[in-house]
A and B are shown apart, each in its own frame.
Chain A
Amino acid sequence: MNVLWLQSAGCGGCTMSLLCAEAPNVFDLLEGAGIEFLWHPALSEETGAAVRRLLEQVESSEVPLDVLCVEGSIVTGPRGTGRFHMLSGTGRSMLDWVRNLAQKAQHVVAVGTCAAYGGITSAGGNPASAIGVQYDGHHNGGALPADFRSRSGLPVINVAGCPTHPDWVTETLMLLASGSLSAADLDTLARPKFYAEHLVHHACPKNEFYEYKASATRLSEMGCMMENLGCVGTQAVGDCNIRGWNGEGSCTRAGYPCINCTAPEFEEPNHAFTETPKFAGIPVGLPSDMPKAWFMALASLSKAATPDRIARNAVSDRIKVPPKQKAGKT
């Protein structure tokens, strides 16, 4: 299976993250699965004229294309021309290239939240008019229309994440190569379910604090970050805390909140990223699949029942009170 990778208006971080794949390393892994890069802007030898020829050959169907991976959002500005990003050496906008090359691909994969939904490039007033390959934020329809289907019949596959996890990309590609990723394996925002059916909250080491609503009051404290520090791990999709990042890491493990980077419009939470918006002292963004009244009742009950160990550790930067051990038989 061959892959043509384009870097559009993003930070290149999803490629940098991809290079963190391990056991085996990204090149051994992909090669072992029969996946090869036709061209990748950070990794391939070919530059300049050789690349222009290759792009023309793909566009004219002379070279068949299995997967088009797009990293970075698609900028449509100024005034819908896409001239905020002309693919260098070609005199054509990336918008134009993506629209054309997508027609030739068996599968189209949007790598990272920028390519999927617009992402951070569309933050603030969206100065470059950035959109995703097939979405514009939550709205279905981006650089490609909502009804676009690649030659395989699938919509654009959104491997969202900012950056996206290296395994999310390699596993998506390997599933495609083995013919085992169908439309039923994508969630309603076209993210692969193998990681999008989990929540960041799952396996977060702060779960016990969450149970008692024992909350951190500032970054670096050990407590749950939902009440005060903007954590939306209970709503954010991703197996970040199950799988781990760069060894054993994750955002919440490092003491800062999940900002829902796998979701459309995460870049504009309408509040400071590391503060929880509250209404009458109650956090606004409660878990999505729980009736609010229940949540409130449970929260006040568990708060009242918080063991001293958990209450004290929650506002400390390390374990102050260890769990009690049962006394042995004497």
Chain B
Amino acid sequence: MSGRNLLVGPFNRVEGDLEIRLEVVDNKVVAAYANSPLYRGFEPMMLGKVPSDALTITPRICGICSISQSAAAAAALGDAAGSQPAPQGALVAALLHGIENLCDHLTHFNLFFAADFARPAYAERSWHPQALKRFTAMQGSAVRQAVEARAQLLHIVGLLGGKWPHTLAIQPGGVTRAPSARDRIRILSTLTAFRRYLEAELFGAPIEAFVELAGADAISTWSTGDAGLFMEIAADLELEKLGFGPGRYLSYGAYPLPEGRTFGPGVWENGELSPVTTEDIREDLSHAWMLGDENHPFKGQTIPDEDMKDPAYSWCKAPRLAGNAVETGAFARQVVDGHPAALDLAANGSSVLARVAGRLLEIARTQLLLEQWASAITPEAVFMESSSLPEHGQGEGLVEAARGALGHWIQIENGRIAGYQIIAPTTWNFSPRDRRGQPGPVEAALEGAVVGDDEETPLSVQHIVRSFDPCMVCTVH
């Protein structure tokens, strides 16, 4: 038996900074430790402020899922106020949020994830010349087309939300700008242009054809567009056998509209779907550089351990749902929502392939939703109701960011914030071990990854880690 330890970092093409420590025995990872090395302290920062300041401050936790943070803050304040947004305001908020999620998936696939297939290590593979042409970091034709299409799609956020990231347009009562008939038609034309891009480059076919894929085989044999190129690579590298998560999926449900959440909420395990009970969430601090007790986020505190004492190895707390580590993200969301292809993939487990397929599926589905929502904008409607916050109270805001379940929990006393806790998707996925020694989802997924003799920064590890689309700035916040 030959063993060695590897330290992987700076781990780039993830949002923020990440360090992974690996124990490798006989060319296989036997244990992995995920360290979120940055602490900023957004939760203590909020204490004593007026509650509405959360709408300005929390989006700045993250520059890639800023609208998700803003939607969660607005939802938490709305919950505390006991108010509902104007229905058309909720629709525009969903549109803004859906665009961000779509852009994030696109950025992840083209800029963060696929670049690894253009590496010289794969030079002998039949697909490598094509990967080189499309996916080379900053140079690939797919990369340049994607940033261009994304920038144009974000014009919708410019129009309705002023700018991206860090908009203040989403409020508990709705949105701050009432779109006109002219805005609506502009939005639709921007979406049409984006559809043209998706169909020409990413899917190489009508979007509906991808959405309607009903099984794992249909997905993994898709052959057109960059999605097809990825499936060819995935088959060759056997990405369906790499990086299994805990097989327990969490989604709060995405895009709350008056008729319900567009992608349904739930917890899925072994083919069983059950409701999400957020009362069962606890944040374990045993391996985080955090002081205090394990708590539900309504009671939680954030007190960093300045001595960074062992056995902790990350600033990230370890959220657990009824004691269990859960995986969250686009694939989890599609499984929970019951998309047939996602369910079929889930039967085999959440592999690297499944996570990327979930994201591609969601890109296609979200485009269709955005088109529907934009068409449904009624310019005569009210887009913002007034909503007034109580002097004392609490609120929970649950949304789905591109990377999965995001929750904000606020306590208000004497008109001021007395408690603010955030659990981001990557807090779930990249949590460290808990007091029972149960690893976080990515730590579990890395066990068994193959490491070549001369590899310092193993490729298999990179594929697995990036398949989760981690957002490290959100993780600890």
Q: Mark A81-99, 1 if CB is under 8 A from B, else 0.
A: 0011111111000000000
Contact check, B169 vs A254: say whether CB atoms are below 8 A apart. yes
Tell me if B64 and A88 are in contact (CB < 8 A): no
Q: Cβ of A249 and Cβ of B158 under 8 Å apart?
A: yes
Q: Is the beta-carbon distance between A13 and B165 smaller than 8 angstroms?
A: yes
Q: Are B37 and A86 in contact (CB under 8 A)?
A: yes
A254's partner among B39, B66, B115, B162 (CB-CB below 8 A) is: B162
Interface pair A127/B44, CB less than 8 Å apart: yes
> Of A19, A89, A120, which one neighbours B107 at CB under 8 angstroms?
A19
Are B143 and A48 closer than 8 Å at their CB atoms?
Answer: no
Let me know if A10 is at the binding interface, CB within 8 A.
yes
Contact between B16 and A123, CB atoms less than 8 A apart = no
- Contact present for B144 and A28 (CB under 8 Å): yes
Partner-contacting stretch, out of A168-176, A240-248, A282-290: A240-248
How big is the A interface, by class? 35 or more
Secondary structure at chain A's binding surface: helix, strand, loop or mixed?
loop
- Partner-contacting stretch, out of A39-47, A132-140, A186-194, A304-312: A39-47
CB of B134 closer than 8 Å to a CB of A: no
Contact status A43-B138, CB under 8 Å: yes
Chain B residues with Cβ under 8 A from A126's Cβ? 45
Contact A45 B159, beta carbon cutoff 8 Å:
no
* Chain B residues positioned under 8 Å from A12 (CB to CB): 15-16, 62-64, 473
A163 touches B63 (CB 8 A): yes
A177 at the interface (CB under 8 A from B): no
B176 and A246 contact, CB distance less than 8 A:
no
The distance in angstroms between the C-alpha atoms of A274 and B430, with both chains bound, is 35
Asked if B154 is at the interface (CB within 8 A of a chain A CB), the reply is yes
What string of 1s and 0s marks CB contacts (under 8 Å) between A1-33 and chain B? 000000101111111110111100111100000
A108-126 vs B, CB cutoff 8 Å, 1 = contact: the mask equals: 0000000000001101111
- Check B53–A47 contact: CB distance below 8 A: no
The answer to whether A317 and B178 touch (CB under 8 A), given A162-B60, A272-B50, is: yes
Asked if A251 is at the interface of the complex by the 8 Å CB criterion, the answer is: yes
Q: Give the complex CA separation of A264 and B17 in angstroms.
A: 25
Count of chain B residues with a beta carbon within 8 Å of a chain A beta carbon: 89
Give the chain B neighbours of A254 by CB distance below 8 A.
160-163, 167-169, 176-177
B158 touches A248 (CB 8 A): yes
> Is there an interface contact between B151 and A13, defined as CB atoms closer than 8 Å?
no
Which chain B residues lie closer than 8 Å to A85 at the CB level?
17, 37-39
Using CB atoms, name the residue of chain A closest to B66.
Answer: A13
B178 contacts across to A, CB distance below 8 A: 220, 317-318
Q: What is the 8 Å Cβ interface bit string for chain A, positions 47-85, against chain B (1 contact, 0 not)? A: 111111000000000000000000000010111000111
User: A259 within 8 Å of B by Cβ?
Assistant: yes
Interface contact tally, CB-CB below 8 A: 267
Residues of B contacting A90 with CB < 8 Å?
9-10
Indicate whether B462 reaches chain A with its CB closer than 8 angstroms.
yes
> Closest A-chain residue to B386, C-beta based?
A218
Contact check, A47 vs B12: say whether CB atoms are below 8 A apart.
Answer: yes
Q: Give the distance in Å from the alpha carbon of A17 to the alpha carbon of B59 in the complex.
A: 14
Contact of A13 among B9, B155, B166 (CB under 8 A): B166
Q: What CA separation (Å) do A244 and B158 show in the bound complex?
A: 8
Whether the Cβ atoms of A220 and B176 lie closer than 8 Å is: yes
User: When chains A and B are docked, how far (Å) is the Cα of A297 from the Cα of B158?
Assistant: 37
**A residues in contact with B9, CB < 8 Å:** 48, 87-90
State how many angstroms separate the Cβ of B234 from the closest Cβ of chain A: 19
Residue in B closest to A130 when the chains form the complex, CB atoms: B40
Q: Is B13 an interface residue (CB 8 A)?
A: yes
Say yes or no: is A250 at the interface (Cβ < 8 Å to chain B).
yes
From A93, which residue of chain B is reached at the shortest CB distance?
Answer: B37
CA distance A55 to B143 in the complex (A): 25
**How far is it, in angstroms, between the C-alpha of A83 and the C-alpha of B50 when the chains are bound?**
30
Q: Determine whether the beta carbon of A75 is less than 8 Å from that of B52.
A: no
Please tell me if the beta carbons of A245 and B158 are within 8 angstroms of each other in the complex: yes
- Chain B residues with Cβ below 8 Å from A48 are 8-11, 456-457
- Chain B residues with Cβ below 8 Å from A120 are 57, 60
Whether A256 is near chain B, meaning CB under 8 Å from some CB there, is yes
Of all chain B residues, the one with the shortest Cβ separation from A6 is B10
Closest residue of chain B to A255, judged by CB? B176
A292 to B470, CA, bound (A): 51
Closest B residue to A120 by CB, please name it: B60
- Known interface pairs A27-B138, A128-B39, A246-B155; A220-B11 also in contact (CB < 8 Å): no
| Nearest 4 A/B pairs, CB to CB | A13-B63, A89-B9, A127-B41, A246-B158
Listed by A's residue number, 25 A-B pairs whose Cβ atoms lie within 8 Å are: A10-B473, A11-B60, A13-B166, A22-B151, A39-B12, A41-B17, A43-B111, A43-B138, A44-B13, A44-B138, A47-B457, A47-B462, A77-B306, A87-B10, A88-B9, A88-B19, A90-B10, A124-B45, A124-B47, A219-B384, A240-B163, A249-B155, A251-B162, A273-B56, A273-B168
